[in-house]
A = this chain, B = another copy of it.
Amino acid sequence: MADVAAKERKILVAVDESEESTYALSWCIENIITGNSTDTLILLYSIPPRAVYSSLDGSGYLFSSDILASMERYSNEVAQCIMEKAKRACKDLVGVKVETIVEHGDARDVICQAAEKLHVDMLVMGSHGYGVIKRAFLGSVSNHCAQNVRCPVLIVKKPKN
């Protein structure tokens, strides 16, 4: 359907375990990327910082290094699982270069920093990456990124039905 050569774009998609994120990636593939084989699609997942520490923290919890190592292993497995799922969603894209990045840190910081560092043409994300409670305190991740990232930001909401 192309009459003029489409531009080569570098598109960053923030992925996580939420349904919103899965939907945003699928929507982006179907509506933005399909039909343009010159794109580079970068899938980004940030492993959230852990809430407990090896020394006694304010809340009084103390975890052994074994437990911490096991928690870290679990986080990495979750990250791997999310990335595998995201890559499977991209498997029918012909010619598109798909890259994956896993970082540690708060999603808001990780996404904003990656968008700047990688000089992407566009950031795509689901409308909410946090749970309801955390969102009430921190505001939505997408809101933060839309306000702080310099490149165009596409926010995709999962339809209710």
Residues of A within 8 A of B (CB): 1-7, 9, 24, 27, 30-32, 34-38, 94-95, 121-122, 127, 142-143, 146-147, 150-157, 159
Residue pair B34, A95 in contact (C-beta under 8 Å):
no
Point out the residues of chain B lying under 8 angstroms from A38, CB to CB: 1
Give 6 nearest A-B pairs by CB, closest first: A6-B35, A2-B2, A152-B156, A2-B35, A154-B154, A3-B94
Other A-B pairs beyond A1-B38, A2-B35, A4-B35, 16, CB < 8 Å: A1-B6, A1-B35, A1-B37, A3-B94, A4-B94, A5-B35, A7-B31, A31-B122, A35-B35, A35-B36, A142-B146, A146-B155, A150-B159, A152-B154, A152-B156, A152-B157
Q: How many copies does the complex hold?
A: 2
The answer, among B7, B95, B146, for a CB contact under 8 Å with A35, is B7
Check A6–B27 contact: CB distance below 8 A.
no
Chain B residues in 8 Å Cβ range of A37: 1-3
CA distance A152 to B54 in the complex (A): 42
Say how far A161's CB is from chain B's closest CB, in angstroms: 11
Question: What is the CB-to-nearest-CB distance from A126 to chain B, in angstroms, rounded to a whole number?
Answer: 10
